Amino acid sequence: MSRVLIIGGHGKIALRLAPLLVERGDDVTSVFRNADHQAEVAATGATPLVADVENLDIAGLTELVRGHDAVVWSAGAGGGSQARTYAVDRDAAIRSMDAAKAAGVARYVMVSYLGARLDHGVPEDNSFFAYAEAKAAADEHLRAVGLDYTILAPGPLTLDEPTGLIEVAEPGDGRVSRADVAAVAAAVLADDSTIGRTIEFGNGTTPIADAVAAR
């Protein structure tokens, strides 16, 4: 059994991830900002925990993650203002990584996106620019901070039913259901060969556990 903390616990991926982890026997705590969502999060089998990670400092986040075996970052500003995008997707994410390091929680899974990199190529006048910048900075920090990280880089997300099948070598545009992204997150938490890797993927024809295993 692993003790897993999901940050962004009311998100569409997190709500699908928590039941997968609970079903296999993990002890899951899901963190979210809006207290009105407690019942929905509790229905996943996770322990609901209301906390505003955007405004918690490193000390507060360190106490939040302490005692867990793994952290999954699945939070995001959700396309709000540029300032909030940087505050959540970059700054709060980076603080959570530093907090995990300080608390001795080595395993960290980041839900990023296909194409996230410092040279992402998104024009500054594009509405996606702040998100691209924020995710690139967060991913780079995660690679350097000394955690046992895995970065998930799915393509465009859909609400399709789960298939259990992805491609990582040539994912095309990477279009993938949120349910399958959740299944990928669950799979990498159970597979130490995914540590230190960025896994770009989309729906395909290979069973998830086989697709993410290091070759």
Contacts of 154 (CB under 8 A, 6+ apart): 111, 113, 114, 174, 176, 181, 184, 200, 201, 202
Per-residue pLDDT of the chain (215 residues; tens, 9 = 90+): 899 999 999 999 999 999 999 999 999 999 999 999 999 999 999 999 999 999 999 999 999 999 999 999 999 987 778 999 999 999 999 999 999 999 999 999 999 999 888 889 888 888 889 999 999 999 999 999 999 999 999 999 999 999 999 999 776 789 999 999 999 999 999 999 999 999 999 999 999 999 999 76
The model carries a pTM of: 0.95
Domains, the chain: 3-153 (3.40.50.720)
Helical pair 93-103 and 129-144, crossing angle rounded to 10 deg: 20
List the one residue out of 45, 47, 20 whose CA is nearest residue 32.
Answer: 47
